[in-house]
């Protein structure tokens, strides 16, 4: 059995930069974690182009 060749390209260490954990009391909703990430500004522009009502129209047949 060979699950995966343990090639170096498949290993990326977890980020070591300190991160601020989200607030975690039992009653609160999800908070905004402050995590340092690659520059995603272009991606935010892509997000702005998403039709904000597409989920309302999105209907599918029930599958398995």
Partner 1 sequence: MNSLFGIETEYGVTVEGADATGLVAASREVVQSYSGRSAGPWNYRAEDPRNDVRGFHVDKLSQDPTDAQFDKPGDKVASPTEDRCDRVLLNGARLYNDHGHPEYSTPECSSLRALVAHDKAGERIILECANAYAAKTGKATQIFKNNTDFHGASYGTHESYLMQRGVAWDDVIYNLAPFLATRIIYAGAGKVGIEERGAPSCSYQLSQRADFFSVLQSVDTLHNRPLVNTRDEAHGDARRFRRLHVIAGDANLSEYATALRVGATNLVVALIESGWETPVTLRDAVRSIKQISRDQTYRWLVEGSDGNHISAVDVQRAYWRAACKLELPGSEWLLDEWQATLDALAEDPWQLGDRLDWVAKKLLLDEFAEAEGLDWEQDALTLQSLDLAYHNVDPAEGLYYGLVESGAMLTLVTEEEIEAARCAPPSDTRAALRGLLVRRFADTIKSASWGGLVVEEAGERINLVLPEAAADYPALCQQIETAASAHDVAAILRKA
Q: How is 30-57 classified by DSSP, letter by letter?
A: ----B------HHHHHHHHTS-TTHHHH
Residues that bind partner 1 (CB under 8 A): 1-6, 10-12, 14-15, 19, 21-22, 24-26, 28-30, 32-33, 35, 37-40, 42-44, 46-48, 50-64
- Is the dihedral angle over the CA atoms 55, 58, 61, 64 positive or is it negative? negative
Provide, rounded to whole angstroms, the least separation between the CB of residue 45 and partner 1. Answer: 9
Give me the residue label for tokens 């980020």. Answer: 15
Least CB distance from residue 62 to partner 1, whole Å?
Answer: 4
Work out how close the CB of 48 gets to partner 1 at its nearest, in angstroms, rounded to a whole number.
8
């Amino acid at each position: 059995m060979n699950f995966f060749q343990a090639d170096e390209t498949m290993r990326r260490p977890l980020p070591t930069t300190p991160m601020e954990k989200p607030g975690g009391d039992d009653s609160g909703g999800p908070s905004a974690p402050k995590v340092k990430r690659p520059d995603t500004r272009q991606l935010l522009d892509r997000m702005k182009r998403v039709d904000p009502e597409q989920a309302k129209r999105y209907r599918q047949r029930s599958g398995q």
